[in-house]
């Protein structure tokens, strides 16, 4: 764009406008048009998330009512701000919750592998009788969405099946993240010194949680966030069902942990019964948010 009019004015002018004095005048007009055109392009780019400087992204965030987060890479911010209409249309649904945080895993070049994300929604026991139900929602790395309904539910977190609209988010981390952190004996995670889960910092986890809550329905409750380095096609270590598989039932391992909750995951360790003090939750995942009053 710079210099376009200045270069073209001589080509489009008739011969008598190419004399020395009039040509100087036309060139000055062309320079003015070039300056105005360049300013117009710059202003238009300020409204384009893919072309504006990073300092402009908070302005677009405020204008489009899409929050951006401290640990979110620029590639994710630009994608979410460019797709703000599509995102906001899906807010209030589990699809929208998953879609809002999946770009957080984009690398600086915008091409890093995205994770598979699952949300398990608990619908409580009906007042007139019957069983609680679970709906599993899955967002694949390529954006494909699917869901599976289980009746009766195969997800009983803490035995409180009468509670409605609690949901848990499971992120199958892309290749390159470290192994899961296991629960230590005692009241803290690894003596309280760990600020890294599966290669995701504590601040990034806080932003993932905030991103999920930004998109959730007002009546629902985010009850937990679970990270695992395994993929949906992987079996649990040592053999058994697939990792957090919506189509499987829970199995109990030799260490007393279970592959899916059967009313026992309200505490990371059994607090009573024959398994007291043993892990109730499997070691192939990290439970980084536990919000179940």
pTM of structure: 0.80
Rounded CA-CA distance 172/227 in Å is: 6
User: What ranges do the domains of the chain cover?
Assistant: 4-46, 73-290
The 10s digit of each residue's pLDDT in 123-166 is 888 777 788 999 999 999 999 999 999 999 999 999 998 888 99
CA distances from 21 to 16, 25, 231, 251 (A): 11, 7, 74, 91
Rounded CA-CA distance 74/287 in Å is: 27
- Average pLDDT, stretch 218-234? 93
| 283 three-state secondary structure | coil
- Which long-range contacts (C-beta less than 8 Å, at least 24 apart) are formed by 21-24? none
Q: What is the pLDDT of residue 184?
A: 39
């Amino acid at each position: 764009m710079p210099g376009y009019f200045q270069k073209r004015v001589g080509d489009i002018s008739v011969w008598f406008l190419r004399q020395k004095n009039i040509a100087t005048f036309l060139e000055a007009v062309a320079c003015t048009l070039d300056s105005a055109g360049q300013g117009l392009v710059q202003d238009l780019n300020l409204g384009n998330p893919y072309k504006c400087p990073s300092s402009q992204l908070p302005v677009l965030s405020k204008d489009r009512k899409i929050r951006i987060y401290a640990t979110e890479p620029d590639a994710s911010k630009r994608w979410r701000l460019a797709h703000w209409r599509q995102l906001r249309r899906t807010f209030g649904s589990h699809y929208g919750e998953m879609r809002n945080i999946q770009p957080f895993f984009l690398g600086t070049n915008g091409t890093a592998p995205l994770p598979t994300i699952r949300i398990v929604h608990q619908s409580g026991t009906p007042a007139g009788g019957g069983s609680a139900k679970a709906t599993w929602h899955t967002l694949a790395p390529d954006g494909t969405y699917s869901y599976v309904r289980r009746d009766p539910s195969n997800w009983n977190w803490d035995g409180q099946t009468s509670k409605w609209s609690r949901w848990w988010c499971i992120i199958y981390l892309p290749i390159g993240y470290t192994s899961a952190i296991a629960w230590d004996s005692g009241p803290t995670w690894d003596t309280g010194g760990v600020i890294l889960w599966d290669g995701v910092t504590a601040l990034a986890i806080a932003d993932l949680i905030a991103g999920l809550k930004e998109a959730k329905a007002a009546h629902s409750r985010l009850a937990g966030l679970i990270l695992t380095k395994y993929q949906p096609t992987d079996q649990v270590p040592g053999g058994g069902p697939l990792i957090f598989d919506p189509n499987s039932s829970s199995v109990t391992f030799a260490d007393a942990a279970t592959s899916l909750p059967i009313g026992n995951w309200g505490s990371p360790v059994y607090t009573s019964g024959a398994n007291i003090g043993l892990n109730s939750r499997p070691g192939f995942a990290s439970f980084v948010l536990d919000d179940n009053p």
